[in-house]
A and B are shown apart, each in its own frame.
Chain A
Amino acid sequence: MSSQNTVTPSDKALQARRRFLREMAGAAGGACMLALGVGMVGREASAKPAMAIRPPGALAEPDFLSACVRCGLCVRDCPYDTLKLSELGDNVAVGTPYFTARDIPCEMCEDIPCVKACPTGALDRELTDIGEARMGLAVLIDHETCLNFLGLRCDVCYRVCPVIDQAITLELVHNPRSDRHAMLLPTVHSDACTGCGKCEKSCVLPESAIRVLPHKLAQGQSAEHYRKGWAEKEKAGGSLIGEQEQLPMRGLEDREYGDTRVTPDYQPAKPGGLDSGWKP
């Protein structure tokens, strides 16, 4: 009995070890749960909403999130107060810079001060020509309210575009409503659009019909194997399958291939009523 009561040094050490291990397990478990929770918050929050556009030169979103230290130096050096740091609850990765084009668009400074200010390279200094920036892509998102699509002459988005006639062009299309006017449709070209958002900002509608969206939302992607026949033909300097055989068309020998004009003696079918008189 006495031997049970005496605590030998090895017992003490054993107890201390047990306590240490228990404490460590608790700490590791708690920390793991916390880290897991953080990971889940992060995963959810890393989905960038469509209205939040990154500053020029921003790395691709996953790289950006690992490089940006949320210091706000880009925000401070932006002369137009375009950039904001996201706050908790803004839906953008907390503390990272973004801008809302409809509020304040990017003015596309030639010296790109925000990129220069970034100490980590989350905004890539390889970008020296602001025309090469791809912050997002403008999309004429609503064809129903856009005034030009209604056949009117608004053109504001086209005229404010810093890359006018390259990023946005006006495409002439027949107006089927009046049948005698043209519609000049603002058309965005992804190879020139920087995503500055001036078009979205200046759209005269209460809700902008043209919007800058992240590329992921704005653009599709061609399949790897997809080839455009006309592009391949141009590249090869001629048709890849040789000259096409021109097959004789009986009764149409005096016409070019593909000529679909009707013959002068052609009589269109009379409009049919209940009894059109048609017989097989």
Chain B
Amino acid sequence: MNTAATTNNVATERSAKRSRASTQPGAEAVRVKGRLRANKWLLLRRISQFGILALFLVGPWFGWWIVKGNLSSSLTLGVLPLTDPYLLLQSFSAGQLPYQEALLGGGIVLAFYLLFGGRLFCSWVCPVNLVTDAAAWLRRRLNIKGGKTPSAYTRYWLLAFTLGASALTGSLAWEWVNPVSMLHRGLIFGFGLAWGVVLAVFLYDLLFASRGWCGHVCPVGAFYGLLGSGALIRVTADKRRACDDCMDCFNVCPEPQVIRPALKAVGQDHPLILDKDCTSCGRCIDVCGKDVFRLTTRFDRSES
């Protein structure tokens, strides 16, 4: 009876530890590496996200017009045009050929993400990432489980359907509801009811689908994912032999399915995460107490 109680205790302790680990991944990393290094990429990412937002906002707020416009299309310092290529694609589908400025701007953005990694947009630029990261954090904190997460293929279908709908309706179909552009435009030009759309995304991720929006629905992310499928910057699990299966990386990763092939050598030999869904957010690098991961290029297949 005594032994039974002890094993029971141990079991509850273990499960408690596991649930704590899943609600607060990275606790070990904080202990080993210190709070700053255990949040290095997260901090850099937030600086990038807020920095880009600030560049757009200092114009309307203080009259320093470094960047005009929004993520859909912008003009930096009066010379550099940048345009969202997915928007241009919708415009093409709807039967428009935009002016050279928009095409040039789209080309620059296209080239950047082709080269460096499409979903860098998702984790380092997109304002909705802040919303869905918050939802994911709260979901872990409140230990909300379950829900119905749609298939990860939904986003690709939706990407195709939005282009089809653009062609059919002759308008930029996804822009009627796109939370990405709505949030960014709202922050810069003022919100109407768009708060509701953003809130809906937050609640959807929090209550219905873990990492549901960015990882399964958003066609913008799907587009950038396809764009960056051959891109340079990749995460590698080169010290995967040090992995102690704490699952912290799986818990924080917005696209956890991309880790397994590299970390556990399932379906591939090298430790490089080549999946196009990987957003290169670097959160796995942060939370790993064993320093398994690091950022590298797609040509670096070394293992240590």
Binding site for B on A (CB under 8 A): 23-24, 26-28, 30-32, 34-35, 38-39, 41-43, 45-46, 62-63, 65-73, 75-77, 84-90, 93-95, 117-121, 125
Contact = CB atoms under 8 A, between A and B. Distances in A.
A39 B170 CA distance: 11
A34 B204 CA distance: 14
Contacts of A73: 68-69, 73-75
Given A66-B170, A69-B84, A119 B75 contact: yes
Nearest to B156: A27
Q: Which 7 A-B pairs have the closest CB atoms?
A: A87-B192, A66-B94, A71-B73, A31-B157, A35-B161, A89-B193, A120-B98
Contacts of B168: 39
Interface residues of B, number: 63
Contacts of B162: 35, 38
Contacts of B172: 65-66, 68-70
Interface in B220-236: none
Contacts, number: 177
B81 A119 contact: yes
Interface in B166-220: 166, 168-177, 181-182, 185-186, 188-194, 196-197, 217
Interface string B81-109: 10110011001001111110110010000
Contact of A27 (B95, B151, B192, B193): B151
Nearest to B182: A88
14 contacts: A38-B162, A39-B169, A41-B177, A42-B176, A66-B94, A66-B166, A69-B91, A69-B102, A70-B70, A73-B69, A77-B68, A84-B189, A94-B182, A119-B105
Given A39-B168, A73-B73, A88-B193, A95 B68 contact: no
A72 B165 contact: no
B170 to A, nearest CB: 5
Given A73-B73, A75-B189, 9 more contacts: A24-B153, A66-B95, A69-B102, A77-B68, A87-B193, A89-B192, A90-B192, A119-B73, A121-B97
B256 interface: no
Nearest to B177: A38
Nearest to B105: A119
